[in-house]
Amino acid sequence: MKIVITGGAGFIGSNLARALTRHPKVGEVHIIDNLATGYKDNLTDLPAHFYEGDVQDPGLLDEALSGADAVVHLAALPSVPRSLKDPLATHHANATGTLQVLEAARRAGNLHVIAASSSSVYGATPNLPKHENLPSAPLSPYAVSKLATEAYLGSYHHSFGLPVLPFRFFNVYGPGQRADHPYAAVIPKWISAALAGRPVPLHGDGAQTRDFTYVGTVCDVLVDAALRRVTSFRPMNLAFGTRVSLRELLAEIEIATGCRTTAHHLAPRAGDVRHSQASSERLRTAFPNVGCVPLREGVQVTAEWLRGTGR
């Protein structure tokens, strides 16, 4: 099998590339990434073909997708705050980029396209857990770009018969997720602060909740989806319904690092949702063999990685 990963030099993409290159049923892994937020050194020693370039380049997509069996489309400018700062850049990379990938998949003979949407599409919807039939109410340009991503996949299924699978990732964390940039996610940012003895920046009161998913679990689902060619034109949550408050997360980080922390209190962030928890019913039915790594174990492994790299 030949599988193409867009955004493969990023956090989730490079973990997926590692998992796929080790899989006996996968012969070739090809990666497209413009290194906007990814790092080439994430791919050091991986037997994968790397194309440095943009998913908005049809010629590059045609070259990479030629003879492929599936595309896992992860390329995007992530982060809600980044999209508030530059909504157009987010739209071009995430929405237009997805459209270009779908067009290329069509030209390549209707390839299987698995893509990353986000729990942010639920936005202001107050219901918990978030099940896929709830209306979407995006609060940020990033969330809108992800709604466009999943809607484009659905429309290409209906219009052109493209086999697709849009996943709604929740908060993914694990080794490879760096703390050393302005849009760092909460887990690496807090672990890194704890290890360095700095106060952890806490937006809001810390009672907001998130459904964290370990990156290895996300990759297990993505690999299984590509190999078994799982399709669904309706988006599917990729999280297991485990919900913790940020204060509980901080306690886990103290256990994992062995460091006491102090919080640096900041105003709540614009565009952030208050509570997040996935309904995992559809995921568990479609992927009965994938289990989820518990938060304590995942945070421990992540802390060890951050301690080792100093990132």
Size of the residue set binding ligand NAD (CB under 6 A): 29
Minimum CB separation of residue 181 from ligand NAD in Å reads 9
Alpha-carbon distances, residue 208 vs 45, 106, 154, 249, 289 (angstroms) = 39, 41, 31, 11, 31
Cβ closer to ligand NAD: 87 or 259? Answer: 87
- Whose tokens are 């997708």? That residue is 65
Q: Which of residues 46-75 bind ligand NAD (CB under 6 A)?
A: 54-56, 74-75
CA gap 273, 258 in Å, rounded: 30
Do residues 121 and 115 lie in contact, with contact meaning Cβ atoms separated by under 8 Å? no
Minimum CB separation of residue 260 from ligand NAD in Å reads 27
Do residues 272 and 203 lie in contact, with contact meaning Cβ atoms separated by under 8 Å? yes
Q: Residue 120: phi, psi to the nearest 5?
A: -65, -15
Cβ closer to ligand NAD: 55 or 194? Answer: 55
Q: Which of residues 94-153 bind ligand NAD (CB under 6 A)?
A: 97, 116, 118
CA gap 223, 105 in Å, rounded: 18
Q: Which of residues 153-192 bind ligand NAD (CB under 6 A)?
A: 169, 171-172
User: Among candidates 121, 5, 2, which has minimal Cα distance to 73?
Assistant: 5
Minimum CB separation of residue 110 from ligand NAD in Å reads 22
Tell me the per-residue interface mask from 4 to 43 with ligand NAD, x by CB under 6 A, - otherwise. --xx-xxxxx------------------xxxxxxx-----
Q: Is the dihedral of CA 101, 102, 107, 108 positive or negative?
A: positive
Minimum CB separation of residue 114 from ligand NAD in Å reads 11
Cβ closer to ligand NAD: 50 or 156? Answer: 50
Which positions lie near ligand NAD, rule CB under 6 A? Answer: 6-7, 9-13, 32-38, 54-56, 74-78, 93, 97, 116, 118, 169, 171-172
